Amino acid sequence: MKPVDFAYERPKSLPAALDLLARDDCTVRAMAGAQSLGPMLNLRLAQPDLIVDITAIPELTSIRSDRHALAVGACVTHARLEDGAGPGRTGGILAAVAGGIAYRAVRNRGTIGGSLAHADPSADWIVCTAALGAELLLASKAGQRTVAAAEFMLGPFETALEPGELVVELRLPWLSEHARWGYYKFCRKAGEFAQASAAVLFDPARDLQCCVVGATSGCPVVIDDPRFIRDGQCSERVTELLSATPLGDDPFAVRTHVVVLRRALARAGV
């Protein structure tokens, strides 16, 4: 199938994009790498009157850093992160995660902000950014606000974004030199969407221990209570927690996710 007719704009500034997204006389949709939106248009699951291509906006394509965090623009592609953009104390996690997404042609176009906004339960960034304690900067004509990555996804393909709102950037706090992280993605072929995934971060300097389990068919499950995981071992409480998610109907899926979490813990050296 082919998309319905739509108008196309490629604004060069954030205010211009937000003006277009605030229009109430037609249905408007932001487009970043089009790796998810493209198929949705072709299948007519999305039928906007106007597409606002946000990839020419400098704030959205830049990577900045300050003393506390790395700020990655929403339209930074997976490929740029895979190639090492975003240096500093992130321990190589961005490159490692980006390199496992799909194949290079998808990574050349797909963006970190697009992936987060699309909120596919099996996607990689939503899991990793939650474990890293990242924050998302959102903007609309009404102003700006920040949301914790762990609270951004509300359900499958559903986020905290309000109509007319864009993800502008992702702020990743620097890891301390003692931090350890692990990410494990289980899929049948390299680069596929995950059937189970887990990201863990241990940063003793910040008294931080966070494990996030993904591909649950719902929101990622954040496990930050140290009683749930001791010395790299998942307690029965982890199984109980995962059984309370949409995975609960399938004991094999729960078991797979526990194993994947253990592997992520092993990768972190816990």
123 binds ligand FAD (CB under 6 A): yes
Give the binding range for ligand FAD (CB under 6 A) out of 104-112, 140-148, 220-228, 254-262: 104-112
Among 86, 110, 214, 220, binds ligand FAD (CB under 6 A): 110
Q: How far apart are CA 126 and CA 131, in angstroms?
A: 9
Of 61 and 65, which has the nearer Cβ to ligand FAD? 61
115 binds ligand FAD (CB under 6 A): yes
Q: How far apart are CA 59 and CA 74, in angstroms?
A: 8
Residues 193-232 that bind ligand FAD (CB under 6 A): 193
Pairing label, strands 153-155, 158-159: antiparallel
The 8-class DSSP code of residue 4 comes to P
117 binds ligand FAD (CB under 6 A): yes
Write the binding mask 138 to 157 for ligand FAD: x where contact by CB under 6 A, - elsewhere: --------------------
CA angle (57 as vertex; 52, 60 as ends), nearest 5: 105
Write the binding mask 227 to 256 for ligand FAD: x where contact by CB under 6 A, - elsewhere: ------------------------------
What is the DSSP code string of 73-131?
A: ETT-BHHHHHTT-S-SSSTTHHHHHHTTSS-HHHHHH-BHHHHHHHT-TT-SHHHHHHH
> Which secondary structure element, helix H or strand E, spans residue 221, and what is its range?
strand 221-223
Of 29 and 206, which has the nearer Cβ to ligand FAD? 29
29 binds ligand FAD (CB under 6 A): yes
Inter-helix orientation angle 251-267/236-243, to 10°? 130
In the complex, the residues that contact ligand FAD under the rule CB under 6 A are: 29-37, 54, 74, 101-102, 106, 109-111, 113-115, 117-118, 123-125, 161, 166-167, 191-193
